[in-house]
Amino acid sequence: MSSTFKSYLQLTRPANLVTAIADILAGMAIAQYQFLNLSFVFLFLSTVCLYAGGVVLNDYFDLEIDRVERRERPIPSGKVPKNYALVLGLLLLLAGISFAFVFSILSGLIASILTIFILFYDCYAKHSSLLGPLVMGMCRGANLLLGISSVTLMVGEYFWMAYLPIIYIGAITIISRDEVYGGTRGAILLALVMYLAVWGSQIVMGVLLQKDILFVLFVSLHILYALLPLLRAYWNATGRLIQLAVKAGVISIILLNASTAAIFGNFYLAILIVLLLPISILFARFFSVT
Residue length of the chain: 290
Backbone angles phi, psi at 239, to 5 degrees: -60, -40
> What's the mean pLDDT in 40-69?
93
Contacts of 258 (CB under 8 A, 6+ apart): 22, 26, 218, 221, 222, 270, 271, 273, 274
**Per-chain mean pLDDT for the chain:** 93
> Residues 103-116: what's their mean pLDDT?
98
pLDDT at 97: 98
Q: Between vectors from CA 137 to CA 238 and to CA 273, what angle results, nearest 5°?
A: 90
Q: Which one-letter DSSP state was computed for residue 162?
A: G
205-211 contacts: CB < 8 A, separation 24 or more?
Answer: 205/263, 206/262, 206/263, 209/263, 209/264, 209/265, 210/262, 210/263, 210/265
Residue 211: pLDDT over 90: no
pTM of the model: 0.94
**CA angle, residues 153, 154, 156, in degrees to nearest 5:** 80
Please report the pLDDT score of residue 3 as a whole number.
75
The stretch 77-88 carries a mean pLDDT of: 93
What pLDDT is recorded for position 20?
Answer: 97
pLDDT at 1 over 70: no
Rounded to whole angstroms, the Cα distance separating 285 from 258 reads: 22
For 167, the enclosing helix (H) or strand (E) is helix 163-176
b/e burial code for range 17-30 (CB count within 10 A of at least 16 → b): bbbbbbbbbbbbbb
CB proximity list for 99: less than 8 A, separation 6 or greater: 42, 43, 45, 46, 49, 111
- Looking at the predicted structure, is the pLDDT value of residue 90 above 90? yes
Q: At what angle do helices 163-176 and 131-148 cross, to 10 degrees?
A: 140
Among 59-68, 119-128, 249-258, 266-275, the range scoring the smallest mean pLDDT is 59-68
pLDDT given at position 228: 94
